[in-house]
Chain A
Amino acid sequence: MNIHTQPQRTPAETALIDAFGDRLSLLPGDGAVMLKRDDAIEAIKHGLPTRRIESWHYTDLRRLLSVVPDFDPTAMAKVFAPIVEGSAVLPVLNGKSDVKVPVLDGVTVQSLSEKLVDGSIAPGLDPYGSDDAIGALNTAFVADGYFVDIADGTELEKPIELQNVQAGGQTHVRLAVRVGAGAKAVIVERQAGDGAALVSSVSQLVLGEGAEVTWLIVQEQPETATHLAQFKAHIGKNAKLTLFVMNAGGKLVRQEVMVKTTGEGADFKLRGINLLAGDTHGDVTMVLDHAVPHTTSTEVIRNVVTGKARGVFQGRINVHQYAQKTNAKMACNTLLLSDDGEFSTKPELEIFADDVVCGHGATVTEIDHDHLFYLMARGVDEKSARGLLVKAFVAEVIEELDDETIVEALEARLDEWFVTHG
């Protein structure tokens, strides 16, 4: 129970604090940026969040983060072929952005280190709140990434793929994107690599009036990596954001999604697939703020848990007092396929306006025996029948994305996961 205890610093906490001291002189930015970094490391000095912190209830970071690897500036990381052919690739390799980036009409690309040096990114470095450990960790250590500005009215034909490729050690990256009024874009955020790394990655997206963006997060870290990521977005008037998250790797993974509708008519769609196998701990935490009237959102999360994996989905929909006529729906469905696996979910509604229609549903179950019987009665063996049903369960979410090339590309990633994890 809540007996007073004097917390002792864990080895991971000590390692982070020491690393900050060592890295300090190498981190870009001074003045305002430096102040933010100092505040952030102060927050870490107070201790990583435990299950006593409500938003970390199912992911006790203090306990789970046991090892913090050292920075390894010499490690090499290689660019991946993009998920969708022909995409413009902006790679961050072992925490460093590439100087030679493709030139696209209407798109301005800057390395984030430039923005840190000139201090213009400083206001965006504030963590979300006192429990925002990922924000604090990233703010303290972030050294590079990209700032992408898509000009008003630009319609990109091919996706932009932001690749964060780690090579072991620590990687702290920030990807900031501004999409101007009426612009249209598909952005892929690829999180991968091949080391026992600690990765923190924060993506920031601002959508201008009437902009339309599909943002795909594809996380395929190796089974040794700790991946702590945050996606933050502001959706302007009549703008539409479709966020697709696919988690298919990592040892300890937390993907936070913090979205706010800031203009009337804004629409947000979240589609998520969490494929959890082996000894993975995978957590998707969403906080959605409906801050203005007449905005809509739907969220569908599908989870598959096998092996000894532990899955978490927390989703909170906040409807502010003046956000009348909000329409928000959230569903979280989980297939729990092994007795050693576990899944916890907390779908919250926090509603301060009366003229709203909000709902959520959540289920946790195993494969429907009737469905299995149906297939097996037709001569499909049990293993294949199960595979078919599980795949159909998650593929349904992918198929909702209208772009065929994207659907095909994601289904290919899905197939790959099923091949490795059977």
Chain B
Amino acid sequence: MPAVQDTIDRVRKIDVDQYKYGFQTEIAVDKAPKGLSEDIIRFISAKKDEPSWMLEWRLEAYRRWLTLDEPTWARVHYPKIDFQDIYYYAAPKSTPGPSSLSDVDPELLKVYEKLGIPLREQEILAGVQKTDASDLEEPSDNVYKSGRVAVDAVFDSVSVVTTFKKELAQAGVIFCSISEAIREHPELVRKYLGSVVPTSDNFYATLNSAVFTDGSFVFVPKGVRCPMELSTYFRMNEKNTGQFERTLIIAEEGAYVSYLEGCTAPQRDENQLHAAVVELVALDDAEIKYSTVQNWYPGDAEGKGGIYNFVTKRGDCRGDRSKISWTQVETGSAITWKYPSCILRGDDSSGEFYSIAVSNGYQQVDSGTKMIHLGKNTSSRIISKGIAAGFSQNTYRGQVSAHRKATNARNFTNCDSLLIGDQCGAHTVPYMEAKNSTAQFEHEATTSKISEDQKFYVMQRGIPEEEAIALIVNGFVKDVIQQLPMEFAVEAQKLIGISLEGSVG
């Protein structure tokens, strides 16, 4: 188990409050004034060169937002957010529109290098150069080889670079920032934006609809299997900013796409807000696999600072036999409020949710999923593993429902929690609602600490306590790790190890 050894090495090196990604980058920034008003929304829309329907859409959401109250039902506690004390738009000044990596501010590239994201990884870099040099050539076969990842990097509010665009375009796949999509593919955006998460959905989704500044857009046409993994890296850099990105992924009939998302933010004393919306649309026979490794800054050891992560993610299995799979590894953020869901509308569609939520320090996690069975013969599977350590609170909140016409709906849910230390809490709040007699729902949940027997068994073979615990924790989350794409699986294991430092042993 080299990964486990590696995890332990990392754990030794890094303290709990030494957030690995806590650097800040000095880059000239273009910011809108603080606060939120119709003028700010007009400013954002104008900055983005948006068509008027988009501005109207935003304003409508804003007016709606003004009538809503902040939700309080989640098991998270935080001081009231002053929505007028946030910058809603911050863009790195130097990059109005990079055409290739070489045009990108080197400071920015350094950030990504520090993050160790695949953007600058050797093989991918080689790939970029090759594409640049051979613009007019036919796509080579190696496009379809695995191991290459196309990346869209979002810095504060703006997408700064998207790699592999040309190769993807040759396969018919559109992968670009959402602002670009609004300009260049308005018919697609207009058709699908807000069709899964409507502007009036909830407080944070409505806020996002009004002020979202960027995000990724993916369109995989009929019958196309996306030739490579797509990936977005989000980073919040500027002080007092909120990040409001919007991701829209559409897989047409028979299409397949696997999408990865990673997030980091610098270390700061104050709290920053992140309110994203992700919409997935899968038509007949399409499949979307969405993986997240969320590592926003969790705050220091005393619980000061950190990101408020209030995210709405929803997938719509609109077509028959479609499939949407969510995999998430949540290790960061001071507060996580996130429920990636599937609406199983098409007959024979299926939804999956695999989650690892690790909380340490004073982190608060309230996360889970919703599986809404509407079509016939739909199935869903939920595997959630929560690990609470330190003074953290870790809640699984999930809903499974079968509507009247959802004959033969099938769900299996398993949520396990592991407690490390006696100051933390682990909570399970599942909702099951069956309105059809042919529905078959199963739910099981357990909560316990690492059993003394297991620990003894491992330690008795000469493995020190700390390593033994890391080994058992890695075993505990194995079911979910297996669902992650290879490159992410290793990173996720390391992250879990880092997140738990200070609590083990």
Contact = CB atoms under 8 A, between A and B. Distances in A.
A349 interface: yes
B431 A346 contact: yes
A359 B444 contact: yes
Contacts of B426: 349, 351
B163 interface: no
Nearest to B202: A1
Q: For B67, B404, B432, B448, which residue has the most chain A Cβ atoms within 10 angstroms?
A: B432
Contacts of A191: none
B202 A356 contact: no
Interface in A337-361: 337-339, 341-361
B420 A354 contact: yes
A3 B202 CA distance: 11
Nearest to B429: A348
A343 B434 contact: yes
A405 interface: no
Interface stretch (B68-76, B87-95, B112-120): B68-76
Contact of B428 (A348, A352, A366): A348
Nearest to B72: A2
B423 to A, nearest CB: 8
A66 interface: no
Nearest to B403: A342
B435 A342 contact: yes
B447 A345 contact: no
Contacts of B438: 339, 366
Contact of A2 (B69, B421, B427, B428): B69
Contacts of A351: 417, 419, 425-427, 447
B437 A337 contact: yes
B269 to A, nearest CB: 28
B141 interface: no
B305 to A, nearest CB: 25
A357 B448 contact: yes
Contacts of A364: 432, 434, 439-441
B446 A336 contact: no
B417 to A, nearest CB: 7
Nearest to B438: A366
A321 interface: yes
A324 interface: yes
Given A349-B447, A356-B447, A336 B425 contact: no
B187 to A, nearest CB: 29
Contacts of A360: 428, 443-445
Contact of A359 (B201, B404, B441, B446): B446
B439 A365 contact: yes
Contact of A355 (B203, B422, B424, B428): B422
Contacts of A1: 68, 200-202
A383 interface: no
Nearest to A328: B447
Given A351-B417, A354-B420, A354-B449, A2 B439 contact: no
Contact of A3 (B68, B419, B421, B448): B68
Interface in A301-324: 321, 324
Q: For B203, B430, B431, B434, which residue has the most chain A Cβ atoms within 10 angstroms?
A: B434
B258 interface: no
A54 interface: yes
Interface in B51-97: 67-69, 71, 73
A393 to B, nearest CB: 14
B359 to A, nearest CB: 13
Interface residues of A, number: 40
A339 B67 contact: no
B436 interface: yes
B442 interface: yes
A366 B422 contact: no
Contacts of A4: 67, 69
A353 B420 CA distance: 9
A337 B443 CA distance: 19
B71 to A, nearest CB: 7
B424 A354 contact: yes
A337 B436 CA distance: 9
A362 interface: yes
Given A2-B68, A356-B447, A365 B419 contact: no
A289 to B, nearest CB: 14
Given A341-B437, A346-B432, A358-B448, A363 B427 contact: no
Given A1-B68, A3-B68, A336-B439, A349 B448 contact: no
Contacts of A366: 437-438, 440
A351 B422 CA distance: 10
Contacts of A347: 428, 430, 443, 445
Contact of B432 (A341, A350, A362): A362
Q: For A1, A338, A343, A366, which residue has the most chain B Cβ atoms within 10 angstroms?
A: A1
Contact of A356 (B201, B203, B448): B448
A213 B433 CA distance: 34
A334 B438 CA distance: 12
Interface residues of B, number: 42
A99 to B, nearest CB: 48
Nearest to A367: B437
A242 to B, nearest CB: 24
B447 A362 contact: no
Contacts of B202: 1
Contacts of B449: 354-356
B427 A349 contact: yes
Contacts of B445: 347, 349, 359-361
B374 to A, nearest CB: 15
Contacts of A363: 440-443
A337 B438 CA distance: 9
Contacts of B69: 2, 4
Contacts of B431: 57, 344-346
A364 B433 CA distance: 9
Nearest to A366: B437
B398 to A, nearest CB: 10
A360 B448 CA distance: 12
A355 to B, nearest CB: 6
B446 to A, nearest CB: 4
A2 to B, nearest CB: 5
Given A363-B441, A363-B442, A364-B441, A321 B422 contact: yes
A331 B299 CA distance: 38
Nearest to B445: A360
A348 to B, nearest CB: 5
Contacts of B203: 2
B433 A344 contact: yes
Contact of B421 (A334, A354, A356, A361): A354
A50 to B, nearest CB: 13
Q: For A345, A351, A354, which residue has the most chain B Cβ atoms within 10 angstroms?
A: A354
Nearest to B414: A361
Contacts of A362: 430, 432, 441-444
B432 A344 contact: yes
A346 B445 CA distance: 12
A349 B446 CA distance: 9
Interface in A1-46: 1-4
Contacts of A346: 429-432
Contacts of A54: 73
Interface in A176-216: none
Nearest to B452: A355
A338 B436 CA distance: 7
- Pick the 4 closest A-B CB pairs, nearest first: A354-B419, A359-B446, A342-B435, A349-B428
22 contacts: A1-B202, A54-B73, A336-B437, A339-B437, A342-B433, A345-B432, A349-B445, A351-B417, A351-B419, A354-B420, A354-B424, A355-B422, A358-B446, A358-B448, A361-B442, A362-B430, A362-B443, A362-B444, A363-B441, A364-B432, A364-B440, A366-B438
Given A341-B437, A349-B427, A365-B441, 16 more contacts: A338-B437, A342-B434, A349-B445, A351-B425, A352-B424, A354-B420, A356-B419, A357-B448, A359-B444, A359-B446, A361-B444, A361-B445, A362-B430, A362-B432, A365-B439, A366-B437
